[in-house]
Structures are given as structure tokens and as C-alpha cells.
């Protein structure tokens, strides 16, 4: 089955995943993470993309970001991918592809879902068993969003800003969101939407995206259409 074209809408946040080909390592040391972060910031600024949450794992990355036009995220990821592959191949004396085809992404409804994706992204190292808590993993946005670290890479989404009226209260409230696990239903919704490229949100949100883009936001029904009528 042919893949549906990727959907972008200006001003609507997206969850983006870029994986290494065949789950191969894409970041072998801190210098690799730092290089990727530097170019991510450069191309995000160039193509007017705001980054709200991110995590760099050894063989994949997650981003939550919002672009000002429908091309920004694709241009950012294409430029970043090419730049980093050149660096990685040169550093490790290798050739060929590094990434698993094109990146995956889905539009995310602001209400209820954006903060869930924040948590999903920053809890990735915990779910992978790499660290006991999100605060223990350096290469993510958790230090900025929960601990108040300064970073030019991370810009808050309006849903994050709405958590409280002051920065300190906001940090405290955000840290409190990590006291409980994301429920399994929400985990499955996030994974399914990102894998399929279909919108993450309410049925109304999906209908609005479909109407704006002309692309369905529900899985197609499987199997052949049933013949009409009962009997002959």
C-alpha cells in the first residue's frame, strides 16, 4: 500500500521521529549529540520552526515542533539529515545511508495532547531503561522545561506557558506531570498516530485536518467491499 503524503499545517504542532536505518547507532558519543543539536538549532531558525520538546537517543530522535508554514519542518529535517550524515560518515570513516528513509510525523491537537507528547518525548530514556528519571538524561529538553535550564534550542508552546503565571510555578507544575506514568491508551494513540502519519487528537480535530488538507485522517478499511444485498 502506498504511503499517504505527509501533512503539515502552519501553526499546528507536530511530533517528529527520525530513526537510524535498521536501528543502527546514529550517536556514538557526546560530540555527536552536540553536533546534531547545533545543526538542529541552525536549521530550525533558518526555516522558522519552533522546537518545544526533544530527545536524542542513540539510534533515533523525537521532536515536538511548530512551523510558520507548511514546508518548514520538511526543509529543516532534510537539511539536518544531510548535514549530519556527512559529518557522521566522515567522522567514522563510513559511507552510505544513516537514516531509515523519510522521517515520520503527525499533527498534534493542542488541547490535552501537546503536553502528553511533551511527556512522551522526555520519558523516552526512562521507558528504555537508560535512566531512572527524565531529569537524569542530559540530551533532552527536560532540563529546560522542568528544571529551568537555559537553551536557545527550546521554545515553549502556548500550552506549556498556560500551566502557570510565573516561570517558577510553571516549572513546578510541569515536574508534577512526571509523577505519574502516561496511561497506556495515550501511549498507543501517540505511537499509532506518528507511525501512520495521521493526526493525534479528537475526532473533531481529525475531521478538521482532513477538511483542510483533503487527506484522510482515519485508517482505510481493510478487505474488499462486500457485495450488495443478501443472496442472489
Alpha helices, H only, 109-199 = 113-122, 124-127, 142-147, 158-161, 167-176, 184-196
Tens digits of per-residue pLDDT, 99-150?
998 899 999 999 889 999 999 999 999 999 999 999 999 999 999 999 999 9
pTM over 0.85, yes/no: yes
In the structure grid, which three cell numbers stand for residue 69, read together? Answer: 508554514
Q: What is the pLDDT of residue 101?
A: 84
Provide the CATH number for the domain formed by 14-213 in this structure.
3.30.70.1290
Backbone angles phi, psi at 139, to 5 degrees: -90, 60
Amino acid at each position: 500500500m502506498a504511503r499517504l503524503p505527509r501533512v503539515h499545517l502552519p501553526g499546528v504542532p507536530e511530533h517528529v521521529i527520525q530513526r537510524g536505518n535498521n536501528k543502527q547507532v546514529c550517536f556514538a558519543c557526546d560530540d555527536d549529540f552536540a553536533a546534531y543539536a547545533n545543526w538542529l538549532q541552525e536549521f530550525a531558525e533558518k526555516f522558522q520552526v519552533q522546537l518545544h520538546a526533544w530527545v536524542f537517543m542513540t539510534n533515533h530522535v523525537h521532536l515536538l515542533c511548530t512551523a510558520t508554514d507548511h514546508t518548514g519542518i520538511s526543509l529543516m529535517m532534510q537539511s539536518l539529515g544531510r548535514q549530519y550524515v556527512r559529518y557522521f560518515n566522515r567522522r567514522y570513516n563510513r559511507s552510505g545511508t544513516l537514516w531509515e528513509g523519510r522521517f515520520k510525523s503527525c499533527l498534534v491537537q493542542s488541547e490535552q495532547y501537546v503536553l502528553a507528547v511533551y511527556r512522551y518525548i522526555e520519558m523516552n530514556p526512562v521507558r528504555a531503561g537508560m535512566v531512572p528519571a527524565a531529569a537524569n538524561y542530559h540530551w533532552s529538553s527536560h532540563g529546560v522545561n522542568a528544571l529551568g535550564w537555559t537553551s536557545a534550542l527550546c521554545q515553549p508552546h502556548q500550552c506549556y506557558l498556560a500551566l502557570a503565571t510565573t516561570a517558577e510555578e510553571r516549572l513546578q507544575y510541569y515536574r508534577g506531570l512526571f509523577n505519574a506514568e502516561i496511561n497506556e491508551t495515550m501511549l498507543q494513540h501517540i505511537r499509532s498516530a506518528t507511525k501512520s502519519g495521521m493526526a493525534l487528537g479528537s475526532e473533531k480535530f481529525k475531521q478538521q485536518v482532513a477538511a483542510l488538507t483533503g487527506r484522510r485522517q482515519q485508517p482505510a478499511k481493510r478487505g474488499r467491499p462486500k457485495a450488495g444485498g443478501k443472496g442472489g
